[in-house]
Structure 1
Amino acid sequence: MLGKSFFITTPIYYVTAAPHIGSAYTTTAADVLTRWHRQRGEMAYMLTGTDEHGQKVLRSAEKNGKSPQQFVDDLVRDEWKPAWDLLDITPDRFIRTTDPDHVAQVQEFWQRLYDAGFVYEGQYTGLYCVDCEEFKQEADLTEDGLCLIHERPVEEISEKNYFFKLSEFGDRLLALYDEQPDFVGPSAARNEIRNYVEAGLQDLSISRSTFDWGIQVPWDHSQVLYVWIDALLNYTSAVGVYDDPEKFAKFWPPVHLMSRDILRFHSVIWPAMLMAAGLPVPQRVFAHGYLLVGGKKMAKSNATAIHPREITDTFGVDAYRYYFMKTIAFGSDASFSWEHISAVYADELANNLGNLASRVAAMVGKYHGGILAEPGALGEAEDALAESLRKTVEVADDAMERLAIHEAITATHDLVTRVNGYITEQQPWKVAKDESADAQSRLATILYACAEVLRAVAVLHNAVMPQASAKLWASLGADRSIGALDDQPLTSAGKWGQLPAGTTVTKGDVLFPRIEESAS
């Protein structure tokens, strides 16, 4: 895999309030996938950022008595970047649509499409949802004329602006979906998009003339580019489509992650824009489900937003990342509850993984003075454990490749459960009472097998729980006997016998301290 590149993106988020666990869900997933591919030896690049133009941001700034630029600067500095730091999310670039290089490349992109004849001037009258920053059709509204997503009134807008000839790309888009069956995922989303395109596409308004908070249309400074037409181009400008062709060629095409409410922009409008510009389309566009609270989609506008800090203050960052990545099938809706995360934390982290790490370190300390003894010959139980480890790495890697993050983490969790069962079956505390050479050799083999699987678990969980994995790695003495955890090749993590005998194993801090009082 060395030399292969992996480029993954999140949407860029509207800077109108602090982030919540809905926006953090997408960003955490992208970070986990980036870390995983990097540990495979690939050149991984993660992009996230903020969408800072448009009427929605302008109105929010006015309500707060600030200029739009000051408003977004404050929120990015005080809320958005700190939230990703809190969750151990480390993008290679945090792009802002007010960044000068982005502005310049957006203007160049649209100037090229205008010069090529893909843009024309016209009159638009339609219904607009400011919260979505999207023109709506009647099918997108409730019986009362409210936006289906935000449950708020839409506005009727009539403007003279510019249009992109989206209608010319229907056949090419359908051909794309046929030639790349996994271009849109999951499959239900692919079918929805295909049906939408087959019904016929209309040309797209790409500018606004009634306010000025946006990127100026390069050939007509009386208008600004429609916020989505600006925002989608963050993916190309971040890797220098016009500024750094070598970097662009190195990383493009990307995998795009997003919530399904913005799938049409990414799977219809965005590839059509790229086709018009003569640029390659993305590798994949994947829409995960909604996080629901009280049966409603997580959103600032309906007062269901929960800040990640409300959860990490109780459970910690690693448990936060584990819970949202493991318990939700990536691509499906899921409901969040405090009771569920409390149960997962106790059962899967404190009692399963945390308890295993503590037991193994304690037994190595008690029976062998903290030094991992030379194992004897492997028996049937160890052979089965070694085969289970090999398969776990294979299954987890395949799952991550398919964006089935939950399956990868479940495979590792199941391996941990199997080791706990192995200890119960082998009863090393009874074996230790027999002072014969055979029994002591058997004891060394049992403890080595447990430590060796934990060595692989640290590698497998490193993308998901970097802090806990680092502690586990250090507790096993692997940092001194093998090397840095981040440098361990993930695809060979299932090879048996990598933790050398003679390694000093220490019982460090408890990985997942028990939480006595339930969160509420």
Structure 2
Amino acid sequence: MGDKKTYYITTPIYYPSAKLHIGHTYCTSIADTIARFKRLAGYDVRFLTGSDEHGQKIQRAAEADGVTPLEYTTNIVNGFKNLWEKLHISNDDFIRTTDERHEKVVQALFQKAFDKGDIYKAEYEGWYCTPDETFWTEQKLGPNHTCPDCGRPVERVKEESYFFKMGKYTEQWLKFIDENPDFIQPKSRRNEMIQFVKQGLEDLCVSRTSFDWGIKVPFDPKHVVYVWFDALVNYISALAPFDGDGELYKKYWPADLHLVGKEIVRFHSIIWPMMLMSLELPIPKKVFGHGWMIVDGTKMSKSLGNVIDPIPLIETYGADSLRYFLLSEIQLGNDGNFTLPNFVTKINADLSNDLGNLLNRTVAMIIKYHGGVVTKHEAMDDLDRDVETLAIQTANDFESYMENMELNKGLRTVWNFIGRMNKYIDETMPWVLAKGQNDGDAERLQSVMYHLAEALRIIGILVSPVIPVGAPKIWEQLGLTGFESSTLADAKQWGGLATGTTVVKGEPIYPRFDIPEMVEATKEVEQAATEAKSVARDAAPTAGDAKVADGAAIEEGTIAPLKEHITYDDFEKLDLRVAKVLTCEKVKKSKKLLKFTLDMGIEERTVVSGISQYYEPEQMIGKKVIYLANLAPKKLMGIESYGMILSGSDWADHLEVTNIESLPAGSLVK
């Protein structure tokens, strides 16, 4: 254990003025995924998050509620911890700025900077934004004396304060940035910070006397330490003691990564390093400023009513679904857009259809063809060898992307491999091999089943940093134990699945969600976004104003609007087939559903379709329909339905099933 490389990662400490929203969830999910990946790669990881609980804003809110500031913050902080537990966040520590350990370190460091002559007392007069806890000069104010960051009114403040000599460290900071070009990421943030410093820095106010909810200045107790010498110090105070025999500090400091929102990069990449330069302490290795989470194309705002609470999403869809969407959909450093339809479509396609389907089909076939027992066999062909090569390449590419903090690309390479394994099933056709019509089919079938199961063993390891709930269930259904001790090295070696392993049929790890069910189940989220959507609607053209390519107006309500573009790769995922209807009957106790038995040419499938009000069962028998064959199975009225029969409908609710009569059953539709 002592020989392991260490990795210390932190999130910002969140301000307990209200419940956390999906933006905080995004930041902490990123940090947790990186921490889990580093553990998987063999690092000794320390992962810190926490809460920033002092300040005038908290004191005023507590007074309004008739409670003490500590009672006020403790109630909200308990909600933070509950959210992180529901999201399966694996932090090693949770630091509160109200902790005694934190207070001692803050006072010691403040005293050290004062003794060095870098902190001095003076009178301050200027403009102050209480919500942002920031002082502003007259020149930097927004219109009508508002905060340039949040747009709210500022207050004129005059009081005695202590100041930190930031300007003293300008040249040392610029030299440090020049020698450590990767310290601020992404690069665009680095350039912003350099320009900010070169414009000239004013000394930083680091104490207040107009309120008393904070840590007392050790040599002048009428002052409380203000923000920066309090909040930023948490990254060190969580490792206290920071001098002498402090084992955690010696082991983990300097931090490897401060992960923060782009709006606080300046504080972490300029103020914090300059403080550490004054204190003669090592500077962290990297500050990464991620983008914002916007909702339906609009920045989250309480005034717009579009602040999304992650709890209903987690309770409805599961922690894995939310984590996967946030990390796979957004390039780290860019802003990300959250909409409920896109969220549900993404998790249905990737988790339920791609990954879930691969696991379900593999386990079911091993049970059906080999009594559940996996046997490694050497009857391989080029397809098998290609799969083995791709598996190792996928693990290596995944490692490279994750090390470079390209989390979405890391996930994409794994899902490409998942897609390849689903295609491998169609190419090898185990149901044909099982008939044993040719010599060697039995051995070939064993090899195919082994390659599917072994691929899933590797996939389970690779996806575990992002979907920590479902990943171990993959191993459980494969009949494997020891998931908690698996490593990245285990994923980079083919053949880890032992002959004789017995798979275990389980429930689908990622069920499919219907859009109507989604709307009903997440009304809280929809209601939260209502006001924002109405604002967007007011600014948008009406359907009557919309134009088609030839200049003709679209009559409102006659043609559905076009959906967003998809890639050719997205379309390639659809397995569309010609299927012949063998039997058709009404589903008991249902006015809408018909139950079909379809001939796909290679096997028969049961499908339930909601077209009973348009067709009598006898009308459908013998027809050749277009059938989506790789849609994840779903139970309807107690019947397991595999796939979907395609049809067309218009605004007046007329419906027609699509037929292709001239092609044989099983033909591909392209």
Q: TM-score range by the shorter chain?
A: over 0.9
The whole-number CA distance in structure 2 between the counterparts of 1:149 and 1:388 is 48
Render the CA deviation track for 1:11-30: whole Å, top value 9, x for unaligned.
Answer: 00111111111111111111
Quote the Cα distance in structure 1 between the aligned partners of 2:139 and 2:265.
16
Paired position in structure 2 for 1:355? 357
Tell me if 1:91 matches 2:94: no
Which residue identity is paired with 1:506? Answer: V
Pair 1:453-2:455 in alignment? yes
Q: Which residue of 1 aligns with 2:503?
A: 505
Higher alpha-carbon deviation: 429-438 or 465-474 = 429-438
- What is the one-letter code of the residue matched to 2:114? Y
Q: Distance in 2 between matches of 1:139 and 1:349?
A: 52
Write the deviation string for residues 213-245 of structure 1: whole angstroms up to 9, x where unpaired. 000111111110112320000000101224753
Greater alpha carbon shift after TM alignment, 303-312 vs 187-196: 303-312
Question: Which one is further off, 141-150 or 29-38?
Answer: 141-150
8 Å CA contact 2:490, 2:496 repeated in 1: no
Per-residue CA deviation, residues 192-222 of structure 1 (Å, 9 max, x unaligned), is 1111111121110101110000001111111
CA RMSD of aligned residues (A): 1.6
Change (3 A) 1:386 1:148: farther
Aligned residue number for residue 82 of structure 1: 82
Which region of structure 1 is more displaced relative to structure 2, 152-161 or 266-275? Answer: 152-161
- Give the aligned residue type for 1:245: G
Asked if 2 retains the 8 angstrom alpha-carbon contact of 1:376 and 1:444, the reply is no
Shift of 1:327: 0.6
Find the aligned partners of 2:386 and 2:281 in 1 and give their Cα distance.
Answer: 50
| Alignment map for 1:1-400 (pairs within 5 Å) | 3-77=4-78, 79-137=79-137, 141-240=141-240, 241-242=242-243, 244-254=245-255, 255-300=257-302, 303-400=305-402
Does the residue aligned with 2:341 lie in a helix, a strand or coil?
helix
> What is the CA distance between 1:150 and its match in structure 2?
2.5
Taking a change above 3 Å as real, the CA distance of residues 476 and 304 of structure 1, as seen in their structure-2 partners, is: same
Other-structure match for 1:417:
419
1:302-341, Cα deviation, whole Å (9 max, x unpaired): 6432111121122111111111111111111011100110
Q: Residues 128 and 76 from structure 1, CA distance in 2 versus in 1: closer, same or farther, beyond 3 angstroms?
A: same
Residue 158 of structure 1 aligns with an amino acid whose one-letter code is K
State whether residues 97 and 230 of structure 2, in contact with CA within 8 Å, keep that contact through their aligned partners in structure 1: yes
State, as a whole percentage, how many aligned pairs show the same letter. 39
- Cα shift at 1:448: 0.8
Q: Deviations 1:425-480 (Å, cap 9, x if unpaired)?
A: 2211112112555111111111111111110111011111111011111101121x
Please tell me whether the aligned partners of residues 39 and 486 of structure 1 are also in contact (alpha carbons under 8 angstroms): no
Shift of 1:111: 0.3
Distance 1:207 1:296 in 2: 36
Name the CA distance, whole Å, in 1 between partners of 2:142 and 2:31: 33
One-letter amino acid of the structure 2 residue matched with residue 374 of structure 1: K
The offset of 1:377, in angstroms, is: 3.6
What is the DSSP-based 3-state SS (H/G/I as helix, E as strand, rest coil) of the residue aligned with 1:465?
coil
> CA offsets, 1:333-389, max 9 Å, x none?
011100110110111111100010000000101100000122224321122212211
Contact residue 341 and residue 515 of structure 2 kept, 8 A: no
CA deviation string 1:168-194 (max 9, x = no partner): 111111111111111000011111111
Q: Greater Rg, structure 1 or structure 2? A: 2
TM-score for both structures, normalised by structure 1? 0.96
- What is the letter of the counterpart of residue 28 of structure 1? S
Cross-structure match for 2:436: 434
Other structure's SS at 2:287 match:
strand
The structural deviation recorded for 1:246 is: 2.4
Asked if the contact 2:110/2:229 (under 8 Å) is kept, the reply is: no
- SS of the equivalent of 1:41 reads coil
Amino acid aligned to 1:64: D
Q: Alpha-carbon deviation of 1:149? A: 3.7
Comparing 344-353 with 304-313, greater Cα deviation is found at: 304-313
Conservation of the 8 A alpha-carbon contact between 2:34 and 2:402: yes
In the alignment, the residues of structure 1 paired with residue 162 and residue 454 of structure 2 have an alpha-carbon distance, to the nearest angstrom, of: 63
| Alpha-carbon separation, structure 1, partners of 2:62 and 2:281 | 35
Q: Matched residues in 1 for 2:347 and 2:138: separation? A: 45
Distance 1:445-1:136 versus aligned 2 partners, 3 A rule: farther
Whether the 8 Å contact between 1:460 and 1:490 is mirrored in structure 2 is yes
Task: Name whichever structure is richer in helix by fraction.
Answer: 1
For residue 146 of structure 1, report the CA deviation from its aligned partner. 2.8
Asked whether the equivalents of residues 397 and 491 of structure 1 are also in contact (C-alpha less than 8 Å), the reply is: no
Worse-superposed segment, 255-264 or 387-396: 387-396
Q: Which runs of 5+ in 1 are unaligned?
A: none
TM-score by length of 2: 0.75
Distance 1:4 1:228, change over 3 A: same
Range moving further from structure 2, 400-409 or 351-360: 400-409
Counterparts in 2 of 1:180 and 1:492: CA distance versus 1, 3 Å: farther
Matched AA of 2:422: N
After TM superposition, the structure 1 stretch with the greater mean CA deviation from structure 2, 52-61 or 267-276, is 52-61
CA contact (8 A) 1:288 1:331 kept: yes
Paired amino acid for 1:466: P
Letter in 1 for 2:315: D
> 2:7 & 2:116 partners in 1: Cα distance?
31
Equivalent pair of 2:460/2:471 in contact (CA under 8 Å): yes
SS in 2 for 1:128: strand
Whole-Å separation in 1 of the counterparts to 2:297 and 2:130: 23
Counterpart code for 1:499: L
SS of match in other structure, 2:221: strand
SS at structure 2 position matched to 1:385? helix
**Residue number in structure 2 paired with 1:403:** 405
Q: Where does residue 589 of structure 2 map in the other structure?
A: none
2:312 and 2:49 mapped to 1: Cα distance? 22
CA–CA distance in structure 1, aligned partners of residues 237 and 303 of structure 2: 30
- Partner residue in 2 for 1:477: 479
For 2:75, what is the secondary structure of its paired residue?
A: helix
- Shifted more, 338-347 versus 489-498: the winner is 489-498
Please name the residue that 2:580 is paired with. Answer: none
Alignment length (residue pairs): 515
- Which region of structure 1 is more displaced relative to structure 2, 214-223 or 485-494? 485-494
Gaps of 5+ in 2: 520-670
Cα deviation, 1:275-298, whole Å, max 9, x if unaligned, reads 111111001000000001244433
Shift of 1:415: 1.2
The CA distance in 1 between the partners of 2:272 and 2:19, in whole Å, is: 27
- The CA distance in 1 between the partners of 2:8 and 2:304, in whole Å, is 33
Distance apart, 1:156 and its partner CA: 2.0
